Amino acid sequence: MRLSLAAVFLFALALPLAARQASKGRRRDHYREGLEALRAHNLREAIRQLRWALEYHPKSPAIHNSLGNAYLASGDTHHALIEFRRAIALKPDFAGAYFNLADALEQSGDENGAVQFDQYALHLQPRGPLARDARGVLKAHRGNLNGAVAEFKAAILSDGALPSARFHLGSALRLLKRYPEAATELREAIALDPANAEAHYQLGLALQSQGISALAAAEFAKARKLNPRLEPPSQ
């Protein structure tokens, strides 16, 4: 059966539209699969899928931010910082990306930079669990550990599945020598984010302070496996 000229013309017009729709669908699939892999802590797959998603939509601040989270969870602060900064460049009022950038700077040892971006993120988003968590970090940096604990607990009350708030609360409680409580919160943080090397290390310190040496050693070993720079403390 031969097609009419009109049918051929309409078919030719439909091809680019179908290609665009297929491309959009692939980008959505890669982004969705990347987020699912990130939630499952399958970080290599999350990074692979999110990078593919960016091939189809390179100017998406949300995808850059999610890719930054995947890199950060894998311990690659260098690429995490790049992705968070790209997200911010595309969306300068993206409070979540500023909070994440502050976390990445803190993990890379730039505490002053972390405080600066936490403060700016709070200016953009003064309420919510991320904001309370960031306020707690600022108070802890200023030495107000009890005030920090109150902020972290408020963040957890709003969002009990926020791993950073659990980790920060456990770390602050350890500094206050409230070791059993610290261990409880740090275990919660690890359950939410098993790849958090610092959480394993802080849990090891809390257990060591209670004289639970064998479990402490196991946590130090996990921390070092995730981040070889984290040496067990000298006895």
Mean pLDDT for all residues in the chain: 85
Lowest model confidence (mean pLDDT) among 109-118, 149-158, 172-181: 109-118
Tell me if 173 sits within 8 A of 185, measured CB to CB.
yes
Q: What are the helix (H) ranges across 58-110? A: 61-73, 77-90, 95-107
Percent of the chain having pLDDT more than 90?
Answer: 50
**Is the pLDDT reported for residue 49 higher than 60?**
yes
Other C-beta atoms lying within 10 Å of the C-beta of residue 218: 15
CA distance linking residue 8 with residue 26, whole number of Å: 27
Reading the block at residue 230, the tokens are 């984290």
**More confidently predicted of 74 and 6:** 74
Return the pLDDT at 210: 96
Please check the confidence at residue 142 and state whether its pLDDT lies above 80.
no
**Which runs of E-coded beta strand occur in 78-219?**
none
Query: What pLDDT, on the 0 to 100 scale, is given for residue 235?
Result: 63
pLDDT interval class at 28 (50, 70, 90): low
- Using the structure block, give the residue that is written with the tokens 């306020």: 135
Coil vs helix vs strand at 60: coil
Q: What's the confidence (pLDDT) of residue 1? A: 41
Beta-carbon contacts of 42 under 8 Å, excluding residues fewer than 6 positions away, are none
Residue 79 has pLDDT above 60, yes or no: yes
pTM of the model: 0.60
Per-residue model confidence (pLDDT) at position 77:
92
pLDDT-derived band at 17 (thresholds 50, 70, 90) equals: very low
List the domain boundaries for the chain. 24-110, 127-235
Given this chain, do its domains 24-110 and 127-235 carry the same CATH topology?
yes
Separation of alpha carbons 174 and 186, rounded Å:
10
- Residue 19: what pLDDT? 44
Q: Report the C-alpha gap between 122 and 6 in whole angstroms.
A: 59
User: What's the CATH architecture for 127-235?
Assistant: Alpha Horseshoe (1.25)
User: What's the pLDDT at 63?
Assistant: 94
Q: How confident is the model at residue 141, as a pLDDT? A: 76
Q: What percent of the chain has pLDDT over 70?
A: 88
Superfamily of domain 24-110: Tetratricopeptide repeat domain (1.25.40.10)
The residue-averaged pLDDT of 136-161 equals 88
